[in-house]
Structure formats: structure tokens, C-alpha cells
């Protein structure tokens, strides 16, 4: 036991000093940080375009196999039978837009995702290539209320193409300075010297990390809202500071929920040859919804932890990383065996003359 505690603490102190600071300040904390490998890439969006097959833009989806175009607010932990996440009772779905490289000749190629940087001796999350790293943070043990079955939310605005200063701490990019996640230190979105609010303008030697944080306050009543956002809110001090979870919740949204954050590492390194970049010097990386600024980045969440499992995790003291002694795990092979069948059949790896769904996007002006 002591040995494990020592190892965990040593890993915290060495690799990410900010963990240690936070840990000391709060007298303990829980930060679940775990990978989910890909469950499917598909042009579906059960939140924004329920039932629409296809939806206007493509997503990469991870988590439980209960995902479909018209999934309801029924408890997805009961409709799913497997998950791609390290925690085996997490049947939630997590998704973001895909990233594409636009070559000088005008064609697009999908950018693949890497696994996660190695932290906490977690060799599950390093092997999720093609997936998403998910964080759930409780500022102090027992101080957050886990989401309820059927809960879902969206953060970000796919139509935005200019910086929103308020969002700098909740949507940011890290340009990795070298292979093996070079420069992966410090809390995400907290240091404007290394984290940019838009996509990095230059070639990144180790790829591009994208972090997106969700609001941490809930109205305590609604599982969803028409825009999938108004039932949740940022704390009074604005978008959360990852270290403090952003202060008090407003009276309209009094329930403190876990700080959910997604981390996606795009392997842009096959596209670093500047002779392939647009001749006018414009940014060659485009999200699947037609955005090469990165300001329109958005993320979707459908809660699906079984029973009380997430609350148990959030109430635990000092569970860090992809393991927590009170929570059930699975190995990477089991995770990778879980999949959802692609519904909208599109070539995911060809050079394309336009982004998937571009005509539909123009029509709907997204
Ligand atoms: C989609 O999921 C819902 C449950 O959320 C289920 O009722 C429905 O049958 C599923 N649809 C398909 C096509 O699998
Ligand atoms: C466009 O450029 C890419 C990158 O050099 C190349 O692989 C692809 O074949 C080209 N496509 C066309 C139609 O020229
Ligand atoms: C992952 O780590 C565990 C123990 O930490 C070890 O038993 C296992 O062999 C490792 N697996 C891989 C694929 O490295």
C-alpha cells in the first residue's frame, strides 16, 4: 500500500508538479484521468441532430456501445453492453469533431489521434490510439454531485471563428515541441505561453493536443435543454480554472458537478512538410465542421456510468489516473473489442475533395 502511495506521489511530483500543488492545497482530491479507445467514427450527432442520418459533420466517438443517432435519455448504462473506457462501468459517450489536413492541392486527409502521454504508470491510456482521454475532477473529495442517468450536455460553438477571451481557459491547444508528447507539462489551458486559444499556426513537431473543459455547475433539475447548454453554467468567476474549479456556482445553477475535460492528441506530424501547406500561408488543419481557427471546437457528453460508480469515484480520496481501488477496471484488449457499427458509410482514410458533409454544412450554414 505504502509503496503504491509513494509511487503515485513520486509520479505526481516529477511529471506534473501542478498535481502536487493542487493536491496539497485541497488536502486531497480525485482526478480520474483515463483513456477510452475509439468506439466509432461516424457522421452522427444524437444531441444536435437527433435521428439525422447523416448529420452535417463527422465525429469521433468513444465510450459505451449504446451510442446511436436517436439515443434517448434512457439510462445508457442499461442499453450498452460494453465500453471502450478504462473504467468498465463507464458506458458514457464522449465525442468531438475530427480534424483534417488540407493539402496545397485542395484535398483533405483525416488526421489520426495518438494515445495519451504516460502518467501514473497508466499503460491503458497510452494505448488508446484513436481515442479520447477523459478527466473527471472533484475539487475536494465528496464535494461534487455526479451526473444523473440521461444527463447530457454540449460545450462550445461550432459557428465561432473568432477568439472568445472568456473561453481561453476552457478550450485550448498545445503545440507539442517534440516526439513522445514533448512539452506535456503544466495544467491544460492555464499557461498562455504554451496553450493557445486557437489552433497553433506553425508545424508542431509532436502533434497538437486539444483540451476542452465543460461547465461545472448544473441547475439540478434538467437532464438536457434545447440548446444542450442552458441547464449547465460556468461558475461565477467564469470558465473554470482547472486548479480551483472556478469558484462558486451561480444561484440559478447551484449544483456543483465534476469538472469534465476531454484531451485529444492529433498526430499532425505526417503533415509537417510546409511545401504541402497552402501557398497563402493559411492554417492547413480543419475541423470536420469546416473550421481552421479552432475557436469553434465543441464537445458532447452523454452520461452513462452504471449505478453510483461515478459518485463513488468522486467521493474517493486521492484517486488519480486510470485506477481507483473502489472502482472497476478493464484491460485495453477488452476495451478495443467494443465497437459500434458505422452507420453512415464514408471512406475515413482517403484523400477527399471536400470535408464529409460539406454540402449539408453549407445548406445549414454550420
Ligand atoms: C438507439 O438507442 C435507443 C436507446 O437510447 C434505443 O431505444 C433505440 O432502439 C436505438 N436505435 C437503434 C437504431 O439502435
Ligand atoms: C494532393 O496532395 C496530396 C499530398 O501531397 C497527395 O497525396 C494527393 O495525391 C494529391 N491529390 C491530388 C488529386 O493531386
Ligand atoms: C501494463 O502494466 C502492468 C502493470 O503495471 C503490467 O503488468 C502489464 O504487463 C503492462 N502491459 C503492457 C502492455 O505494457
Q: Is 107 in the pocket of ligand 2 (CB under 6 A)?
A: yes
Question: What is the residue with the minimal CA distance to atom 9 of ligand 3?
Answer: 123
Residues 174, 196: Cα–Cα separation, whole Å: 7
Atom of ligand 3 nearest to the CA of 127: 13
Residue 326 lies in a domain: yes
Low-confidence ranges of the chain (pLDDT < 70): 1-28, 139-142, 240-246, 365-366
Residue 20 lies in a domain: no
The answer to whether residues 145 and 311 touch, using CB atoms and an 8 Å cutoff, is yes
Sheet with 208-213: strands ordered across:
195-196, 171-175, 208-213, 259-266, 132-138, 30-36, 320-321
Looking at residue 360, what is its pLDDT? 85
Residue with cell 503515485: 8
pTM over 0.85: yes
Residue 91: which of 48, 71, 134, 62 has the closest Cα?
62
Q: For a pocket test of ligand 1, which of 71, 151, 152, 342 has the largest count of ligand atoms closer than 8 A to its C-beta?
A: 71
Looking at residue 248, what is its pLDDT? 84
Q: Is 70 in the pocket of ligand 1 (CB under 6 A)?
A: yes
Residue 366 CB coordination number (10 Å): 18
The answer to whether residues 117 and 237 touch, using CB atoms and an 8 Å cutoff, is no
Looking at residue 5, what is its pLDDT? 40
Contacts of 294 (CB under 8 A, 6+ apart): 171, 173, 197, 198, 199, 210, 287
Residues 214, 234: Cα–Cα separation, whole Å: 8
Residue 185 CB coordination number (10 Å): 14
Number of domains in the chain: 1
Instruction: Please work out, in degrees rounded to the nearest 5, the angle formed at the alpha carbon of residue 263 by the alpha carbons of 16 and 284.
Output: 115
Q: For a pocket test of ligand 3, which of 4, 86, 115, 123 has the largest count of ligand atoms closer than 8 A to its C-beta?
A: 123
Per the rule left: phi > 0, alpha: psi between -120 and 50, beta: everything else, 297 is: beta
Instruction: Please work out, in degrees rounded to the nearest 5, the angle formed at the alpha carbon of residue 290 by the alpha carbons of 298 and 362.
Output: 110
Ligand 2 centroid from CA 110, angstroms: 13
Residue 296 lies in a domain: yes
Residue 131: which of 61, 27, 56 has the closest Cα?
61
The answer to whether residues 262 and 279 touch, using CB atoms and an 8 Å cutoff, is no
Residue 253 lies in a domain: yes
Q: Which domain holds residue 246?
A: 32-365
The Cβ-side half-sphere exposure at 273, using a 13 Å CA radius, reads 5
Q: Quick one: which H or E segment has residue 6?
A: helix 2-15
Residue 339: which of 39, 15, 25, 20 has the closest Cα?
39
Looking at residue 223, what is its pLDDT? 98
Residues 213, 227: Cα–Cα separation, whole Å: 17
Ligand 2 centroid from CA 221, angstroms: 52
Amino acid at each position: 500500500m505504502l509503496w503504491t502511495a509513494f509511487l503515485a506521489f513520486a509520479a505526481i511530483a516529477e511529471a506534473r508538479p501542478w498535481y502536487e500543488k493542487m493536491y496539497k492545497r485541497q488536502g486531497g482530491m480525485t482526478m480520474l484521468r483515463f483513456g477510452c479507445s475509439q468506439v466509432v467514427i461516424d457522421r452522427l450527432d444524437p444531441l444536435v441532430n437527433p435521428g439525422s442520418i447523416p448529420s452535417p459533420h463527422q465525429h469521433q466517438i468513444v465510450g459505451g456501445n449504446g451510442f446511436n443517432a436517436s439515443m434517448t435519455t434512457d439510462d445508457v448504462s442499461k442499453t450498452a453492453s460494453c465500453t471502450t473506457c478504462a473504467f468498465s462501468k463507464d458506458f458514457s459517450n464522449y465525442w468531438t469533431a475530427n480534424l483534417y489536413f488540407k493539402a496545397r492541392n485542395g484535398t483533405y486527409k483525416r488526421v489520426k489521434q495518438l494515445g495519451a502521454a504516460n502518467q501514473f504508470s497508466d499503460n491503458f491510456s497510452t494505448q488508446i490510439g484513436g481515442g479520447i482521454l477523459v478527466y473527471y475532477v472533484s475539487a475536494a473529495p465528496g464535494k461534487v454531485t455526479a451526473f444523473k442517468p440521461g444527463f447530457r450536455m454540449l460545450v462550445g460553438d461550432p459557428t465561432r471563428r473568432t477568439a472568445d477571451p472568456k473561453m481561453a481557459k476552457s478550450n485550448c491547444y498545445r503545440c507539442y515541441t517534440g516526439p513522445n508528447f514533448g512539452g506535456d507539462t503544466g495544467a491544460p489551458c492555464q499557461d498562455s505561453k504554451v496553450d493557445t486559444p486557437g489552433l497553433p499556426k506553425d508545424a508542431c513537431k509532436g502533434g497538437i493536443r486539444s483540451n476542452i473543459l465543460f461547465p461545472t455547475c448544473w441547475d439540478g433539475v434538467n437532464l438536457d435543454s434545447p440548446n444542450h447548454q442552458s441547464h449547465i453554467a460556468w461558475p461565477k468567476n467564469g470558465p473554470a480554472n482547472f486548479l480551483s474549479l472556478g469558484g462558486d456556482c451561480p444561484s440559478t445553477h447551484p449544483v456543483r458537478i465534476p469538472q469534465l475535460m476531454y484531451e485529444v492528441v492529433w498526430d499532425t506530424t505526417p503533415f509537417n512538410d510546409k511545401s504541402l501547406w497552402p501557398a497563402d500561408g493559411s492554417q492547413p488543419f480543419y475541423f470536420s465542421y469546416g473550421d481552421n481557427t479552432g475557436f469553434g471546437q465543441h464537445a458532447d457528453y452523454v452520461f452513462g456510468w452504471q449505478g453510483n460508480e461515478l459518485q463513488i469515484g468522486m467521493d474517493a480520496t486521492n484517486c488519480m489516473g486510470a485506477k481507483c481501488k473502489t472502482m472497476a477496471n478493464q484491460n485495453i484488449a477488452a476495451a478495443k473489442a467494443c465497437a459500434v457499427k458505422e452507420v453512415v458509410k464514408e471512406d475515413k482514410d482517403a484523400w477527399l475533395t471536400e470535408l464529409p458533409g460539406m454540402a449539408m454544412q453549407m445548406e445549414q450554414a454550420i
